[in-house]
Chains A and B, each alone.
Chain A
Amino acid sequence: MSEKTVRILLVEDNAGDARLLREMLNEPGSLKIELTHLGCMSEAVHHLATSAVNIILLDLGLPDAQGLGAVRQAHAVAPSVPLVVLTGLDDEVLAAQALQEGAQDYLIKGQIETYALLRSLRYAIERQRMQVETDQIRKLQLQLKDDFLSHVSHELRSPLTAIYQFVTIVADGLAGETKPEQREYLQIILRNVRQLQSMIDDLLEATRAQAGKLNVEPQCVSVSDAVVYTVNTLQATALAKEITLSFDLSTRVPSAYADPTRLRQILLILFDNAIKFTPNGGAVKVQARALEADPSFLLVEVSDSGCGISPDMTERIFERLYQVAAPALAAREGLGLGLYICKELVTRQGGQIWVQSPPGQGAIFSFTLPVFSLGSLIAPLLRNEAWPADSVALMSVEIGSQDGWLSKEKRERWSRETRILIQKCMLPDLDVLLPKMDSGGAGEVFFVVAFANDKGAAVLAKRIREQFGQLEQLKQAGLTFSVSYKFLKPPPTDAVALSENTVGKMAARIEALIKSEINTRTIHHE
């Protein structure tokens, strides 16, 4: 097998050491070599970014990078290029650490022989190649497994549909009279169909979580509403076991910055679990409040009077497919994916989840979510370094209904359409559509922060009006819309970016402006 040229990057500031290595590498041998020698890390980083290199020989005492820092820097720029470090005689500990940081081998200066050097280079290249290959195979296998699970879950839904259809056809008497006993048994089938359905949903969800594809769209959301919704949904299940479901939202609960569907999903899983592990006649409670230690987060607690969780299991129950050894009272149901999905959903939204179980007092599941704060949402936008305009415009787009209130269905559908439409009109780098907010009014209001002056804002407003004007469906659906905007002048500054103090003040002004806009609308429509 003819060998390709091996391109070596030698990073070494000691001219003597470098010359020695160059001589060794130039000795006639089986390896065809092309050597580039650089004296410092900054040059090496530039070289790695612009040229193809097969292996790096790295001295750990460079003028601009030393020790493990040098290894990390080189590895960060070229993670797939094998690295062999050059160390002094008394530095074996450091060399061993370098291996842990991703170096393939180390050579001790003054003890390097031509033969050993070449062998080390060859091995390093080969090992790196195998490592990359193994990683690729593992990734591919994970992907195949996820695809397979996803495919199977979808395929299971079709026969399940037919089972559901025909069980309900018989149960509803569409195929003739049924006896009470038969109807009772059909209800048992139906209950199991629902369970199978939720297991398939869980499986798909967990597969997505594993692949990092859980979709989360945060907005301003009322935690109290989500709690009330969950309690209502599971009231019947709880009643069947004579379990009292109660919630305490006595103190004002701030809105969360979270995905409403996902929040309900988290609460449903936690409530469902609590009911499952609580004996007949027990109680399940939920509380929500601002987190004392950090008011920018809110805390939700779901506590039950069930069998509790042994202390060594409080971490493990959030693992994928982990199931608590079922006590006699809790039937083994589900796949053991619920809490895993919960944890993924909470962490994806910036929160944390944990469980406490004081002996004999059931379990308390707690999770946190960030509190919705317009100020903290807007502030990052204002740090934009490429402000082309001397002012910021706050644009409000409102959709309403000619006959009063928008129905929930219309609200959801048109909110989605409106967001898409506004996004089409915006300049992606300069204008920002804020997430949905509880407007509380009769219609839906959307806010765009635009880095625009009078002219720019007028153009944006015109574009949005034109887009809406073309929508025949909008008129047919009996909807109205309006666009308006207000300006905020930032203080004149020569600096490239605004100071943190100014950012904070401007964010607060925009926040106040949005709140007053929302309030005006609420009062106007009441």
Chain B
Amino acid sequence: MNKKILIIEDDPDVRLGYHIRLKANNYDTFFAADALVSITEARKHQPDLIILDLGLPAGDGFVVMERLKANTHLAVIPIIVVSARDHRGNKDRALKAGAKAFLQKPVDNDELLAVIRQLLGEPNVSTQQRT
């Protein structure tokens, strides 16, 4: 069965971009566009991994992490923060808040997939042939 990834991102284009790339790598994706919906969706789908943007409406990514970490069932889900915000300052803060990785937008596809596989304990097969 495919692993489930919840994408918390308010930009619909970027969301679709993630979806196509992740689907091509055999992941099922779910979405949330703001901090409030994030928790509901996480509860509903119990994803294996979360990709989280920091700048979100109705509470930023740090608020989302705080709420996820406060819930016993959701606290264990590994989180990758992918943000347009600068890694200086935000990276340490995100890791302290419980994220497993911080990636800077625009994030390289191979890098993102490598981190996902590592966190899901999957072997890092090389991605599809670059044409």
Q: In the complex where A161-B106, A161-B107, A174-B24 touch, is A169 in contact with B17 (Cβ < 8 A)?
A: yes
Question: In the docked arrangement, what's the CA distance between A412 and B17, Å?
Answer: 30
Which residues of chain B come closer than 8 Å to A168, judged between CB atoms? Answer: 21, 109
Q: Which residues of A contact B (CB under 8 A)?
A: 154-155, 157-166, 168-169, 171-175, 178, 183, 193, 197, 204, 208, 215, 409, 413, 416
Question: In the docked arrangement, what's the CA distance between A207 and B92, Å?
Answer: 21
Q: List 21 A-B contacts (CB under 8 A).
A: A157-B84, A157-B105, A158-B11, A158-B105, A160-B105, A161-B14, A162-B11, A164-B106, A165-B20, A166-B17, A169-B20, A169-B21, A171-B131, A172-B109, A172-B128, A172-B130, A172-B131, A173-B131, A174-B128, A197-B106, A409-B118
A154 touches B106 (CB 8 A): no
Chain B nearest Cβ from A203, distance in angstroms: 11
Chain A nearest Cβ from B54, distance in angstroms: 10
Top-7 shortest CB links A-B: A165-B17, A157-B84, A162-B13, A161-B106, A164-B106, A161-B105, A157-B105
Point out the residue from A155, A165, A197 that lies within 8 Å of B14, measured CB to CB: A165
Confirm or deny: B43 has a beta carbon within 8 angstroms of a beta carbon on chain A: no
B84 touches A165 (CB 8 A): no
Question: In the docked arrangement, what's the CA distance between A215 and B107, Å?
Answer: 22
Which residues of chain B come closer than 8 Å to A197, judged between CB atoms? Answer: 106
A154 touches B88 (CB 8 A): no
Which residues of chain B come closer than 8 Å to A157, judged between CB atoms? Answer: 84, 104-106
Question: In the docked arrangement, what's the CA distance between A38 and B13, Å?
Answer: 73
Considering only CB atoms, which chain B residue lies closest to A150 in the complex?
Answer: B86
B87-131 Cβ-contact flags toward A at 8 Å (1 or 0): 010001001000000001111010000000010000000001011
Q: In the complex where A157-B106, A161-B17, A174-B20 touch, is A215 in contact with B84 (Cβ < 8 A)?
A: no
Extra contacts, 14 of them, besides A173-B131, A204-B86 (Cβ < 8 A), are A157-B105, A157-B106, A158-B11, A158-B14, A158-B84, A161-B14, A161-B17, A161-B107, A165-B20, A171-B130, A171-B131, A172-B128, A172-B130, A183-B131
B86 touches A178 (CB 8 A): no
Point out the residue from A155, A165, A173 that lies within 8 Å of B21, measured CB to CB: A165
Q: How many A-B residue pairs have CB under 8 A?
A: 68
Point out the residue from A158, A162, A164, A215 that lies within 8 Å of B88, measured CB to CB: A215
Question: In the docked arrangement, what's the CA distance between A159 and B13, Å?
Answer: 9
Question: In the docked arrangement, what's the CA distance between A169 and B84, Å?
Answer: 20
Question: In the docked arrangement, what's the CA distance between A197 and B106, Å?
Answer: 8
Chain A nearest Cβ from B120, distance in angstroms: 15
Confirm or deny: B30 has a beta carbon within 8 angstroms of a beta carbon on chain A: no
Interface residues contributed by chain B, number (CB under 8 Å)? 23
Which residues of chain B come closer than 8 Å to A174, judged between CB atoms? Answer: 20-21, 24, 128
Question: In the docked arrangement, what's the CA distance between A168 and B24, Å?
Answer: 12
B24 touches A162 (CB 8 A): no
Which residues of chain A come closer than 8 Å to B85, judged between CB atoms? Answer: 154
Question: In the docked arrangement, what's the CA distance between A162 and B20, Å?
Answer: 12
Question: In the docked arrangement, what's the CA distance between A88 and B21, Å?
Answer: 83
B107 touches A154 (CB 8 A): no
Considering only CB atoms, which chain A residue lies closest to B23 in the complex?
Answer: A174
Question: In the docked arrangement, what's the CA distance between A159 and B106, Å?
Answer: 9
Question: In the docked arrangement, what's the CA distance between A165 and B11, Å?
Answer: 13
Considering only CB atoms, which chain A residue lies closest to B110 in the complex?
Answer: A168
Residue from B88, B92, B131 whose CB has the most chain A CB atoms within 10 Å: B131
Confirm or deny: B27 has a beta carbon within 8 angstroms of a beta carbon on chain A: no
Which residues of chain A come closer than 8 Å to B86, judged between CB atoms? Answer: 154, 204
Question: In the docked arrangement, what's the CA distance between A276 and B130, Å?
Answer: 26
Chain A nearest Cβ from B98, distance in angstroms: 11
Considering only CB atoms, which chain A residue lies closest to B118 in the complex?
Answer: A409
Residue from B21, B104, B106 whose CB has the most chain A CB atoms within 10 Å: B106
Chain A nearest Cβ from B35, distance in angstroms: 17
Which residues of chain B come closer than 8 Å to A413, judged between CB atoms? Answer: 95
Question: In the docked arrangement, what's the CA distance between A397 and B131, Å?
Answer: 49
Considering only CB atoms, which chain B residue lies closest to A175 in the complex?
Answer: B20
Considering only CB atoms, which chain A residue lies closest to B85 in the complex?
Answer: A154
Chain A nearest Cβ from B69, distance in angstroms: 13
Chain A nearest Cβ from B21, distance in angstroms: 7
Chain B nearest Cβ from A233, distance in angstroms: 14
Residue from B11, B13, B107 whose CB has the most chain A CB atoms within 10 Å: B13
B13 touches A178 (CB 8 A): no
B84 touches A155 (CB 8 A): yes
Q: In the complex where A162-B13, A169-B20, A204-B86 touch, is A178 in contact with B107 (Cβ < 8 A)?
A: no
Question: In the docked arrangement, what's the CA distance between A460 and B130, Å?
Answer: 54
Considering only CB atoms, which chain B residue lies closest to A177 in the complex?
Answer: B131
A161 touches B131 (CB 8 A): no
Which residues of chain A come closer than 8 Å to B84, judged between CB atoms? Answer: 154-155, 157-158, 161
